[in-house]
Amino acid sequence: MKIHRSVLVIIAVAVMLIILMLWHQEKPAGIMPPATSVETSPVRPSGVNASNSPVQTNVGLAQASFGNMQSTTNQQQSQVPEGKVAILKEVLRANDADIVFYGRLADQFGSPISGAEINFNIQYKNPEAKGIERGRVVSDTYGFFTISGYKGADLGFSPKKAGYTLTDTNTYFRYSRLTPGYFVTDEGNPTVIKMWKIQGGEPLVEVNKTFKLPYTAAPIFFDLVTGTVVTSGGDCEVIIARVPGPISGRNRRDWSIKLMPVNGGIMEVDYQAAQMTFAAPTDGYQDSFFVQMSHDDAGWYDNVQRSFFMTSRNGQVYSKFMFNFEINNATNDTMWFQFKGVANANSSHNWEATAPQ
């Protein structure tokens, strides 16, 4: 049997591996989900050698013997037919694949980033050994870099250069053939990794305020710049609706929340992406954000936790914040609001003061 001919066969044998490991009370380590490239770059300019442009340094090889696995394998050899042991080992070897990665660093304007150091880790795990191999490459004049000549299950890296900060959340790539949808690189279409070129931070207002307010069906206005509740205006208008009676996981009832920026727009974003965004978007905002919790909905909760970009006061304020809300459980209980983030109150999109230094 040739395992490498078919991914389906490998997966089937992997299932057999799990059964064998459970039989012998050995639990295999969890496998992280694969990552895929989120953006691609133009074809590498002619005359640029992908393998020679970076300077590659092998920092060291961290190895550890598979004592427990070898012991288990010895036990299996006495209890499991020799052919099945061979299959077991071949499946484990399929966990380590050739690591080849073609990448390109670019800033927020699409310009290449040359001379950046890319420190990387490669995790490997096979019947003979497991560990982490580390190394470093440097991006060339066009921002290209290559990582190759290694075997392992996954690759993670972190590019660094003075005056830049990483904005791309996708710097982990799964190569193990035991993982469906494993990453495959393309030399003619390198993966683009984005970094932010710092232009100069502006003073920002910290948004970090918690409010406990009695329930009301009337609009509530929050001023994010001063961190107060105001009678009108401010930055964000919030409207809560709920049916009478106690609300909890055991007493599910209908309720809703609506956020409306005052003379502006709002955009829901991923929390991690929000942390790595250093300028407010120019478009893509909505008039409001609305959540309806129905008592018969399987996804019912008594709270909401979301992250937002928001512009308000006719473009005078640009804010990014995490918003937490919890509905009042009993009629006399208070509702809980929390805003946490930053705001630029200078009519500027600049959030660079939040970039790691």
Residue ranges of the chain that CATH labels 2.60.40.1120? 3-197
Q: Is the pLDDT of residue 56 over 50?
A: no
- Residue 215: its pLDDT value, please? 96
pLDDT class of 256 with cuts at 50, 70, 90 = very high
- Residue 93: its pLDDT value, please? 77
- Residue 25: its pLDDT value, please? 41
Bigger pLDDT: 333 or 179?
333
- Residue 204: its pLDDT value, please? 97
pLDDT single digits (tens) 192-246: 999 999 999 999 999 999 999 999 999 999 999 999 999 999 999 999 999 999 9
217: helix, strand or coil: coil
Residues near 191 by beta carbon (within 8 Å), at least 6 away in sequence = 37, 39, 40, 41, 101, 102, 103, 104, 185
pLDDT single digits (tens) 6-20: 444 455 555 455 544
- Residue 27: its pLDDT value, please? 39
Closest CA to 97 of 13, 216, 10, 169: 10
Bigger pLDDT: 355 or 86?
355
- Residue 329: its pLDDT value, please? 94
What rounded mean pLDDT belongs to the chain?
83
Scanning the chain, the segments in alpha helix (DSSP H) are: 7-23, 67-79, 82-93, 271-275
Element housing 194 (H / E): strand 191-197
Average pLDDT over residues 18-24: 46
Q: Is the pLDDT of residue 181 over 70?
A: yes
CB 349 within 8 A of CB 279: yes
Cα–Cα distance between 113 and 141 in angstroms, integer?
7
CATH among 3.40.228.10, 3.40.50.1100, 2.60.40.1120, 2.40.240.20 for 3-197: 2.60.40.1120
From residue 330, alpha-carbon distances to 71, 214, 242, 326 in Å are 59, 11, 11, 12
Residues near 281 by beta carbon (within 8 Å), at least 6 away in sequence = 267, 309, 349
